[in-house]
């Protein structure tokens, strides 16, 4: 059993996927956390999107995985970095690096290897079309740019040096553009995906809708 949850940044994928994995007793794979972990590895080495060769050279030198805990935390070379991956700076760099083909190929290969066996709910911005095109159930979550930016801002507003709402709106617009226009694995709507507009819906309501479909 594989349930793939796709959609743009801030559409509620992570929250819904976590709740759904508990509801249906499925393993959870947060593909976005893997790109964020790669971004942290690049930041530590002083590598940016304008150094594609250095980015490619970095790939075989690191190991991205997950803890055995529930929920699973993303790890970088065995270090739990779950508390480091949600900053605006990491989000921006992860989005930029994810548009580089060698990074996407490496991440997708790793993700497909992880879900080869078992029961999974996975979320990300290419999981229904690239990572798990044969998923048993495909969901595409969406909401307006303003609503998605507001949600992300609420998640970060209590952090140290938290961004302004205007800065988050700008970041969401930029990420949408990169996600939809990147040459490798752009964000696309799978023909057999069910679209769920998440505005004014509680995460628990969305989970109930998906759980019924999964029966």
Is the Cα dihedral 16, 20, 81, 75 positive or negative?
Answer: negative
pTM of the entire structure? 0.85
Give the closest residue to 81 by CA, choosing from 43, 108, 51.
43
DSSP per-residue string spanning 35-56: HHHHHHHHHHHT--TT-HHHHH
Mean pLDDT, residues 118-146 = 94
pLDDT digits 0-9 by tens, 24-50: 999 999 999 999 999 999 999 999 999
Q: Is the pLDDT of residue 205 over 80?
A: yes
Classify domain 2-213 by CATH architecture: 3-Layer(aba) Sandwich (3.40)
Count CA within 13 A, CB hemisphere, residue 64: 29
For residue 47, how many other CB atoms are within 10 A of its CB?
19
Buried b (16+ CB within 10 A) or exposed e, 133-162: eebebbbbbbbeeebbbbbbbeebeeeeee
Q: How far apart are CA 146 and CA 123, in angstroms?
A: 21
Token pair, residue 161, equals 């040096």
Mean pLDDT, residues 106-120 = 94
pLDDT digits 0-9 by tens, 57-108: 999 999 999 998 777 899 999 999 999 998 889 988 998 999 899 999 999 9
The pLDDT of residue 187: 85
Helix (H) or strand (E) holding 197, with range, is strand 194-197
């Amino acid at each position: 059993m594989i349930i793939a949850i796709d959609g743009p940044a801030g559409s509620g994928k992570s929250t819904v996927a976590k709740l759904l994995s508990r509801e249906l007793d499925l393993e959870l794979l947060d593909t976005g956390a893997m790109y964020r972990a790669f971004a942290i590895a690049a930041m530590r080495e002083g590598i940016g999107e304008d150094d594609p060769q250095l980015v490619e050279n970095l790939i075989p030198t690191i190991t991205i995985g997950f803890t055995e805990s529930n929920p699973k935390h993303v790890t970088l070379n065995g270090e739990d970095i779950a508390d480091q991956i949600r900053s605006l700076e990491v989000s921006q760099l992860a989005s930029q690096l994810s548009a580089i083909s060698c990074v996407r190929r490496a991440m997708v290969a790793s993700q497909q290897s992880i879900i080869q066996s078992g029961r999974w709910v996975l979320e990300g911005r290419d999981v229904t079309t690239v990572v798990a095109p044969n998923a048993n159930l495909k969901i595409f979550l969406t909401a307006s740019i303003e609503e998605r930016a507001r949600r992300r801002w609420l998640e970060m507003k209590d952090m140290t040096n938290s961004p302004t709402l205007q800065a988050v709106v700008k970041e969401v617009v930029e990420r949408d553009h990169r996600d939809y226009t990147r040459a490798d694995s752009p964000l696309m709507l799978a023909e057999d995906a069910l679209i769920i507009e998440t505005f004014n819906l509680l995460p628990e309501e969305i989970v109930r809708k998906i759980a019924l479909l999964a029966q």
